[in-house]
Amino acid sequence: NKRKMEEIDASSAVKMKRGDMKTSDLIVLGLPWKTTEQDLKDYFSTFGEVIMVQVKRDAKTGNSKGFGFVRFTEYEAQEKVISQRHMIDGRWCDCKLPNSKQGPDEPLRSRKVFVGRCTEDMTTDDLRQFFMQYGEVTDVFIPKPFRAFAFVTFADDQV
């Protein structure tokens, strides 16, 4: 994408002159299907100046794939965004460095668990009630159309 590369080159040049930590693209996971690039830009602009946003879409259908990317001019804004969860268009989303690995002494932790073998009569409330015995549940996602699985997200990655 030529436009994207020009923006990246421009931001890199700005960063090199200042001598600050260099910003990089952050991946935004768990986006609602309806979220547009303008929605992302509007949301993330509250953290600092945004120089690039992108919602990944299926090449054939044009539908969102449920994730995207954002880049800030300031490293501090990037750090602030990575350090918290985000409610975007009614869904909790996570932001992190793409393909980032934790340190060797720190295992990769996730707050989201896959729940298989669900039945069609299960509701998000049923799953939320059941999994609350293990910790605070922040999100329950059952895909439509029904496909016999769900995801439950906890507030704490230690659950």
Structure tokens at 109: 């932790």
Which pLDDT score, from 0 to 100, does residue 100 have? 60
Which pLDDT score, from 0 to 100, does residue 157 have? 72
Question: Are 86 and 108 within 8 A, CB to CB?
Answer: no
Kindly give the confidence (pLDDT) of every residue in the chain, 159 residues in length, as a single tens digit, with 9 standing for 90 and above.
Answer: 445 554 545 444 444 444 457 778 899 999 999 999 999 999 999 999 999 999 999 999 999 999 999 999 998 898 889 888 899 999 989 898 887 644 344 444 567 888 999 999 999 999 999 999 998 888 899 988 888 999 988 877 777
Global confidence as pTM: 0.55
Cα–Cα distance between 147 and 145 in angstroms, integer? 6
Q: How many helices (H) and strands (E) does the chain have?
A: 4, 8
What are the residue ranges of helices labelled H in the chain?
A: 2-18, 37-44, 75-82, 124-131
Structure tokens at 67: 């994730």
Which pLDDT score, from 0 to 100, does residue 104 have? 40
